[in-house]
Amino acid sequence: MNNKTIAISDCDHLYMAEEQAVCDRYGLDYVLFQCKTEDDLIERLPGYAAVVNQYAPFTERVFAALPELKMVVRYGVGVNNIDLEAASRHHVVVCNVPDYGVQEVAAHAFALMMALTRKIVRMDASVKRGEWEYARSIPIRRFSEMTFGVVGLGRIGTCFAEMLRPFGGRILGCEINPKQPIPDFVELVEFETLVRESDVISLHCNLETSRNLVNLDVLRQMKPEAVLINVSRGGIVNEHDLAVALNDGLIAGAGIDVTTVQINTYTFTEAFEPVLQAGEDILYIGFSSKLSGTVQSAHVAAEELAAKYPERKIVVIDSICASLGEGLLVYYTARKQKSLDLDALAAWVEANKQRFVHWFTVDDLVYLKRGGRISGATAAIATILNIKPVMHVDNEGYLVAVEKVQGRKKSLRELVDRMEKSVDTTATDTVFIGHCDAYADAEFVASLVHEKYPNMMIHIDHIGTSIGAHSGPGTIALFFVGNER
């Protein structure tokens, strides 16, 4: 392979003029691939010494398969998709672009702050409803009278603070992992002080040092009129806790441009390896592969670790279940753990996973429209007619619509009617009910289940934010063991 040819493993922009200009300047060539998986990288990158990368995962397995690789340069700032320890073991230099998007990301954080503090979104919706009532926007405060908290004073955080400076407010800052001087116009404080005293908190820290930094305990310490901005990484904020805080009025609002993502191979390796080192085997039951690629990441991690720990067993199973349906499968599996060894337990899961039945309904069709599951016209007509879809997860693990009913209560009753048709009462002693900010409706479904099956235990819990973002507030789901799906 020509050492003057650079491989671009993947990228999501259409025009390569900048890359071409740099290559022309230094007498280089480039070849563009669109790798998505470890296998893609291993197949297409042998012989290349330098690779430019955006999303494709560089793991221990990839580095081991590419002995001529000397450098990976990541588009952007974060390197979450690159196993840095593995890169070091294989003597591969990893670079990023630290000034990528500095002004753009800072400006976006500023725009989200303006939208929240100036009540733009609220008043836009009000006007579209035909209202003209300024009182709905009260209170709106002058920035000169507010306190702004910047968590993470790297390039982007400092740029955001510079944008705030002309407005004359108090600017607090804290640095989770200090690497550069703090601007003299920023008052450096502890994180806890910043949380308590700020009217606006903007997060500009990395995921590695700040995972789950903002949880319910932190949100409870914020002012009730404060707003939270996150344009960094989704895992910095506990999304369930944020939903609780917003619903309970603990804070006034949140501007979120990032969310949690599919678990990658590196994260699975980090979770699995300590268990194997302790001399234990692993049975991992994953989210439906038809709805997420997470279970494939687990398979890859298991394959890599099997070579390192040949005396241990790692079994990865695609549950073809989702949400609390997967949770119910894990619950029943755990109950059988005492009486079965790993192989027998895995065999039981494979033999029974299709018996874990999922029935869903949603209250607001706009979320299904946004996700592309229904058209805008269908959503509009169904909303006018108060039509509610009834859906389930099929035998292959896909979420599919089965029926449409008119009215919220009827859709909730339909879930239990569906249960009555297929439940295996000899195998089901516990059912799970999930909800998205609809606890009263979940209790209503629970009462219907209890009326028909008074001896069954019923557990009600939240549906996670990743699924909830696709189905919307008001989603209700019923999970049980049936004769078939």
Write out the DSSP string of 369-383.
HHTTSS-HHHHHHHH
Strand partners, 73: 52, 95
Predicted confidence band of residue 178 (pLDDT cuts 50, 70, 90): low
Using the 3D structure, point to which of 256, 287, 307 is the last residue of a domain.
Answer: 256
Using the 3D structure, point to which of 256, 284, 315 is the last residue of a domain.
Answer: 256
User: Has residue 141 got a pLDDT over 70?
Assistant: yes
* Mean pLDDT for the stretch of residues 455-482: 90
Asked if residue 263 lies in contact with residue 296, where contact means CB atoms within 8 angstroms, the answer is: no
Residue predicted with more confidence, 46 or 233: 46
- Measured CA to CA, the distance from residue 291 to residue 449 in angstroms comes to 28
Minimum mean pLDDT among 35-39, 213-217, 356-360: which range? 35-39
Are both 240 and 327 inside the same structural domain?
Answer: no
| Tens digit of each residue's pLDDT (9 = 90 or more) over 247-267 | 899 999 999 988 766 677 778
Provide the whole-model pTM: 0.63
pLDDT at 384: 80
Provide φ and ψ at 204, rounded to 5°. -140, 45
Are both 224 and 247 inside the same structural domain?
Answer: yes
Residues spanned by the domain of 88: 5-95
Are both 113 and 225 inside the same structural domain?
Answer: yes
* Mean pLDDT for the stretch of residues 319-345: 94
Are both 345 and 376 inside the same structural domain?
Answer: no
pLDDT at 119: 92
Q: How far is C-alpha 347 from the geometric centre of its chain's CA atoms?
A: 30
pLDDT at 27: 93
Output the domain CATH number for residue 392. 3.30.1180.10
Are both 251 and 123 inside the same structural domain?
Answer: yes
Predicted confidence band of residue 371 (pLDDT cuts 50, 70, 90): low
User: Has residue 382 got a pLDDT over 80?
Assistant: no
Are both 247 and 120 inside the same structural domain?
Answer: yes
b/e per residue, 174-197, with b = 16+ CB within 10 A? bbbeeeeeebeebbebebeebbbb
Output the domain CATH number for residue 80. 3.40.50.720
Are both 110 and 242 inside the same structural domain?
Answer: yes
| Tens digit of each residue's pLDDT (9 = 90 or more) over 431-458 | 999 999 899 999 999 999 999 999 999 9
Tokens representing residue 478 in the block: 């019923």
The DSSP output letter for 353 is G
Q: Give the CA angle between residues 375, 381, 385 to the nearest 5°.
A: 140
Give which of 101, 8, 19 is closest to 56, Cα–Cα.
8
Using the 3D structure, point to which of 294, 323, 352 is the last residue of a domain.
Answer: 352
Are both 10 and 112 inside the same structural domain?
Answer: no
Tokens representing residue 24 in the block: 């022309």
Of all residues in the chain, the percent with pLDDT exceeding 90 is 64
pLDDT at 133: 86
Are both 275 and 378 inside the same structural domain?
Answer: no
Are both 171 and 66 inside the same structural domain?
Answer: no
Give which of 59, 121, 114 is closest to 90, Cα–Cα.
59
pLDDT at 429: 95
pLDDT at 357: 96
Of all residues in the chain, the percent with pLDDT exceeding 70 is 95
Are both 477 and 424 inside the same structural domain?
Answer: yes
Give which of 365, 353, 430 is closest to 391, Cα–Cα.
365
The strand order across the sheet containing 430-435 reads 399-406, 387-393, 356-361, 476-481, 430-435, 457-462
As a whole number, the mean pLDDT across the chain is 90
Residue predicted with more confidence, 311 or 134: 311
Are both 251 and 286 inside the same structural domain?
Answer: no
pLDDT at 468: 80
Predicted confidence band of residue 291 (pLDDT cuts 50, 70, 90): confident
How many domains does the structure of the chain reveal?
A: 4
Tokens representing residue 313 in the block: 């067993």
